Amino acid sequence: MAMHKSTSGSALGPGGLDLTQAFFKSIMNAAPSSPTKRHTKISIVGAGNVGMAIAQTILTQDLTDELVLVDAIPDKLRGEMLDLQHAAAFLPRTRIQASTDYSVTAGSDLCIVTAGARQINGESRLNLLQRNVHLFQKIIPPLVRHSPDTILLVVSNPVDVLTYVAWKLSGFPSNRVIGSGTNLDSSRFRFLIADHLDVNAQDVQAFIVGEHGDSSVALWSSISVGGVPVLSFLEKQQIAYEKEMLENIHKEVIQSAYEVISLKGYTSWAIGYSVANLARSILRDQRRVHPVSVLAKGFYDLEDGEVFLSLPAQLGRGGVLGVTNVHLTDEEKHRLKDSATTILQVQNQLAL
C-alpha cells in the first residue's frame, strides 16, 4: 500500500486518507496535545563524542520536543540519527532529525556547538584555537541565519575564546552567547570535595571560575557543604587544614581532562550531563546559577577588554540573566584577573 508522511507528521494512505487520524479515532479518540506547553527545539552541531553524549543526555532527561544533529560527515551523521531514533520505544517522545544542511536547525531555541578538533594526549585546549576558529566561521553564520532568536551554547575548545568568536560572528547581544565554561570543572571539583569529605556531591556548593583550562580559579572561600561554609567553619573550630591540600584538589581538577584523554582518548559523559544541566536551566527558565563563560566586562573588576570567562551566572529563557556577586578574597580576585589576561593574550592573536 502506498503511504507517505504528510507535513504534519501523520501517515497518508490512498486518496489522501489520513491513516493516523483514522487509526487513533477508532481506538482512543485522542485529545489534542496541551496548547499551554511551549514547544522547544535544540540543535547540536558536531555529532562526535561530545555532541552525542549531550544528545543522549538531553533525550533521556526529556528536555526538548525536537532534537537536531548537524555534522560535516553525512554517513556518520545519519548513522547517529538512526541509532538514536531506534531507541524511541524507550525514550520520552522527541522528534530527532539530522542533516548537513543548516536549514534543518531553523527556529531552534538553543544551538549547542561541539564541532571541531579536540586535544590529543598532553595537548592544551588553547592549542586548538586556529583550527576551530576556522570552523566557527563556517558554522555560526548559517546557524544564526536560520535561528535569529536562538541562544548559542559553545562547548568546542578553547571554549572561552570560541565563545567570544561566536559572539562576534553572530552579532547577538552577549546575554544570548554562553560558553559551557567551568560548569564541568566545578562538577569535577564538587566530586573531589565530596569524595574527600565523604558527602554527596549535590550537597557541595563550590565554584571554579575563570578559564576552562589551566588558569582556572578555585573559589575556596565560598565553598559550603550542606549550608556550612567550609573554610570559616574549619577556622572557627580551629581545625588545621593544609593550603597545599586545597591546591592539590584544584590541581587534580585541572588534570582531570588530561587524565581522561590519556586513558580513553576524549572526555564525553561528564560534559554531556553538564551541558544538559545548562540546557534545562535555560529552556525551563529555571534561573539557576551556573559557572559558565559570559562576557566578563563590568563584573568582579574585570574591565580590561572583551573577554569571556566563567563567572557564576543566572540562566533562564533569556540566556544570561545576571552574574552573582560572590565574595572573592584578594588572592582569588588576583587569580581571576590573571586568568582573564591569559585568555586575552590568546584572543588578541585572532584576526576575525
Ligand X SMILES: NC(=O)C1=CN([C@@H]2O[C@H](COP(=O)(O)OP(=O)(O)OC[C@H]3O[C@@H](n4cnc5c(N)ncnc54)[C@H](O)[C@@H]3O)[C@@H](O)[C@H]2O)C=CC1
Residue with Cβ nearer ligand X (92 or 265): 265
CA distance 193 to 215: 20
Does 271 engage in binding with ligand X (CB under 6 A)? yes
Residues 313, 296: contact at Cβ < 8 Å?
no
290 binds, among ligand X, ligand CC(=O)C(=O)O, none (CB under 5 to 8 A by kind): none
Task: Out of 138, 264, 287, 334, name the contact with ligand X by CB under 6 A.
Answer: 138
Task: Out of 41, 125, 190, 280, name the contact with ligand CC(=O)C(=O)O by CB under 6 A.
Answer: 125
CA distance 159 to 177: 12
CB atoms within 10 A of CB 299: 18
136, amino acid identity:
F
What DSSP state is assigned to residue 320?
E
Task: Out of 94, 119, 163, 277, name the contact with ligand X by CB under 6 A.
Answer: 119
Any catalytic annotation for residue 146?
A: no
Active-site residue among 212, 250, 290, 327? 212
Task: Out of 114, 156, 157, 293, name the contact with ligand CC(=O)C(=O)O by CB under 6 A.
Answer: 157
Q: What cell does 12 get?
A: 497518508
| Residue 50 is assigned to a ligand binding site | yes
Residues 70, 104: contact at Cβ < 8 Å?
yes
Does 30 engage in binding with ligand X (CB under 6 A)? no
CB atoms within 10 A of CB 138: 12
Q: Report, in Å, the least distance between residue 118 CB and ligand X.
A: 4
DSSP string, 196-224: HHTS-GGGEE--EEB-SSTT-EE-GGG-E
Q: What order do you get walking across the sheet with 151-154 strand by strand?
A: 95-99, 66-70, 41-45, 110-113, 151-154, 177-179, 288-295, 308-316, 319-323
Angle of CA points 314, 320, 324, to nearest 5°: 35
| Residue 9 is assigned to a ligand binding site | no
Q: Report, in Å, the least distance between residue 134 CB and ligand X.
A: 9
Task: Out of 114, 183, 267, 339, name the contact with ligand CC(=O)C(=O)O by CB under 6 A.
Answer: 267
Question: Which candidate, 302, 268, 289, places its Cα nearest to that of 207?
Answer: 289
Does 187 engage in binding with ligand X (CB under 6 A)? no
Q: Report, in Å, the least distance between residue 257 CB and ligand CC(=O)C(=O)O.
A: 3
Does 46 engage in binding with ligand X (CB under 6 A)? yes
Show contacts with ligand CC(=O)C(=O)O in window 181-210 (CB under 6 A): 184
Residues found near ligand CC(=O)C(=O)O in the complex (CB under 6 A) = 125, 157, 184, 257, 267, 271
Residues found near ligand X in the complex (CB under 6 A) = 45-51, 70-73, 114-119, 128, 135, 138-139, 155-157, 159, 180, 184, 212, 266-267, 271
* Annotated binding-site ranges for NAD(+): 46-51, 71, 132, 155-157
Q: Which residues form the catalytic set?
A: 212
